[in-house]
């Protein structure tokens, strides 16, 4: 979560603490957490995929 907030801060030229406050203020923190979890699930599934195409 911290790494994602730092990346967002860098992209928008803001401090990580400002981004944290904005995410909490606008109610987007939960959406960001869900997005990160979804990415981790897909990464896990891809890493376990043993089917080869060809």
**pLDDT digit string (tens) for 13-28?**
999 999 999 999 999 9
Q: What pLDDT, on a 0 to 100 scale, did the predictor assign at position 12?
A: 95
50 three-state secondary structure: coil
For the stretch 26-49, pLDDT in tens is: 999 999 999 999 999 999 998 988
Grade residue 51 by pLDDT with cuts at 50, 70 and 90: low
Structure tokens at 14: 């803001």
Please give the pLDDT value at position 20: 96
Sign of CA dihedral 22, 28, 33, 37: negative
Indicate the pTM of the whole model: 0.69
On the question of pLDDT at 53 being above 80, the answer is: no
């Amino acid at each position: 979560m911290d790494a994602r907030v730092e990346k967002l801060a860098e992209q928008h030229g803001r401090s990580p603490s400002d981004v944290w406050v904005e995410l909490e203020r606008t109610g987007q923190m939960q959406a960001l957490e869900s997005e990160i979890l979804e990415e981790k699930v897909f990464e896990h599934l891809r890493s376990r995929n043993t089917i080869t195409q060809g």
